[in-house]
Structure 1
Amino acid sequence: MFASSKSKAMYTSSRLGQLWQVLTPILNAGVYFLIFGLLLGAKEGIPDYVPWLVTGVFLFSFTQRSVTSGAKSVGTNLSLIRALHFPRATLPLAYTVVEFQQAMVALAVLFAIVMAFGVMPALTWLLIIPIVALQLLFNMGIGLIVARLGAFTRDISQLIPFITRTWLYASGVIFSVASLHDRSDFIKENPWISDVLEINPGYVYIELARQALLPPYVAQTDPQVAATNPGTLWAYAVVWAVVVLVGGFYWFYRAEERYGRG
């Protein structure tokens, strides 16, 4: 409840209120399309580039907001922590659930955008349910990790925008990760970087969502920007969700008695 009220308070000073939760990724997608898609040619070889791009932006925004709110979850609730005895892990978890609720609204908008560009619903769209569920578990884990960091190192909140922006670029939100081997001489000389990028959880959940929502992307994509094998992606998605959630909870719980002191 406290997380929900904090989230609402963030938008009370703007006329459009919580609508910005949806407008922000749409506007970001528009900027990325103009700069990277058109001017820099990132859309080459990718059919339905706009739905492809918007899917990446919306899915990554869910994780990005979870990280940002998680980092502040303990510091902004110090008075509550000092006044009441309760499991501190409920703070970052509650913030992530609030972001999940917002993500559900954003997904409805995403479906509408995808259909507006001529991609019709298919049975594969149902795969979005387990994909987002696994992403939610991953976000909970990463939220717990940054919550502990933010509780004892307040300056981390100033670094997070730079970290998440770098993560966005490394997650194939704007361009195909597979195409980097042909676009970048540096990656040609260091092919292991492509493998690391494809293991990246940001890329994994986005790519799974694209393959579920955009069957033409899988069937028609240029071989140079070919999609990663779905079975491999599902394996990565499950491992990331379980490992980060369990590890994040353990990492956060180890400092349970120290939150709110000092």
Structure 2
Amino acid sequence: MSLDLLAAEHGLTRVGGRPTLAAYLRELWRRRHFAIALGAARAYSRNQGSFLGQTWAILTPLLWAGVYLLVFGVMLGTDAGIGNYIGFLVIGVFLFHFTSANINNGSGAIVNNSGLVTSLQFPRALLPFSIVLAELFTLAPALLVLLVLVPLSGEAPQWSWLLLPFAIGLQWIFGTGAALLCARLVNDVRDLGQLIPFGIRGLMYASGVFYSIDRYAGDGVVGWLLTHQPIAVYLELGRATLLAEYDASLTLWLWGAAWAALALVVGLVYFWRGEARYGRG
């Protein structure tokens, strides 16, 4: 009898081995409170050493929105054809900042937490989950500011505003899947961590954060691909819930749900398949 069979007969399992996917999901659910607590601690500790503290969670996207408004709205004139460009831009910057933080910070979930990975036994997927939760907690006060800025830009409150949490929820699910995917990729190939910020910058220019994709990309294949890629879909959903000139069609919601489901399933399965290798150099 082999050692593996002998160990299994006596209820022993290999340290750091990969459980079945069903068992892994059950363990993730059982330890969900750890991810929530860790995410809340990350969000609270962020910027604690600075004078303004948590205010930077709001100031950072606001300052970027101001820079983009000056460069792209005033100097380059990309606001053409957009009725409420300030609202368009602020929503785009806030929501893109959420997704980019999920991907950028989530990609280092394993390599930046080697102490936890090597010293404690828990499903490693809890680390990317906690990072994306921290970004969600950080986004909450920024959304309150957004709901103040949008009326100041000339928008009247409407019933579609109630759909904003659902749009954010889909974006959060997508960000979780992307963080899981990138966390394993960077753990396996550390150099990819240096390339991810460049990829995020490219996504910013390709997702219509500060310009209308329809105006510049047209109705061809390139325009279709740009408007249906996930980042652009979630920006469009956010704008459609808050701005009167945009309409959140059922098709757009289905695209948002499809991207979220695909990212979560692919990211979780891909991350799980590498579970046995995390923390092993």
TM-score above 0.5: yes
- Give distance in 2, aligned partners of 1:6 and 1:125: 29
Q: Does 1:257 align with 2:276?
A: yes
> By how many angstroms is 1:68 displaced?
1.2
- Give distance in 2, aligned partners of 1:211 and 1:109: 18
> By how many angstroms is 1:81 displaced?
1.1
Which residue does the alignment assign to 1:207?
A: 236
Trace 1:80-119 onto structure 2 (pairs within 5 A). Answer: 80-119=116-155
> By how many angstroms is 1:3 displaced?
4.3
Aligned residue pairs total: 245
Trace 1:186-201 onto structure 2 (pairs within 5 A). Answer: 191-201=220-230
Residue 60 (structure 1) aligned to one of 96, 111, 114: 96
Alignment deviations for residues 148-196 of structure 1 (CA, whole Å, 9 cap, x no partner): 01222222222222111110111111100000146xxxxx8xx211010
- Give distance in 1, aligned partners of 2:217 and 2:275: 45
Which residue does the alignment assign to 1:21?
A: 57
- Give distance in 2, aligned partners of 1:253 and 1:9: 29
Secondary structure of the equivalent of 1:211? helix
- Give distance in 2, aligned partners of 1:203 and 1:159: 21
> By how many angstroms is 1:208 displaced?
1.0
- Does the 8 Å CA contact 2:43/2:138 hold for their aligned counterparts? no
- Give distance in 2, aligned partners of 1:142 and 1:197: 18
> By how many angstroms is 1:39 displaced?
1.0
- Does the 8 Å CA contact 2:42/2:134 hold for their aligned counterparts? no
Q: Does 1:11 align with 2:47?
A: yes
> By how many angstroms is 1:103 displaced?
1.2
- Give distance in 2, aligned partners of 1:136 and 1:76: 21
Secondary structure of the equivalent of 1:178? helix
Larger displacement relative to structure 2 (60-69 or 230-239)? 230-239
Larger displacement relative to structure 2 (151-160 or 97-106)? 151-160
Aligned-pair identity (%): 40
Trace 1:1-262 onto structure 2 (pairs within 5 A). Answer: 1-181=37-217, 191-215=220-244, 217-218=245-246, 230-262=249-281
Question: Which residue identity lines up with residue 195 of structure 1 in the other structure?
Answer: W
Larger displacement relative to structure 2 (66-75 or 8-17)? 8-17
- Does the 8 Å CA contact 1:199/1:236 hold for their aligned counterparts? yes
- Give distance in 2, aligned partners of 1:203 and 1:14: 33
**Runs of 4+ residues deviating >4 angstroms:** 6-10
> By how many angstroms is 1:250 displaced?
0.3
The structure with more radius of gyration: 2
- Does the 8 Å CA contact 1:71/1:156 hold for their aligned counterparts? no
- Give distance in 2, aligned partners of 1:44 and 1:160: 31
- Give distance in 2, aligned partners of 1:109 and 1:73: 29
- Does the 8 Å CA contact 1:128/1:212 hold for their aligned counterparts? yes
> By how many angstroms is 1:4 displaced?
4.1
Unaligned runs of 5+ in 1: 183-187, 219-226
TM-score (normalised: structure 1): 0.89
Aligned-pair RMSD on alpha carbons? Answer: 1.6
Question: Which residue identity lines up with residue 88 of structure 1 in the other structure?
Answer: R
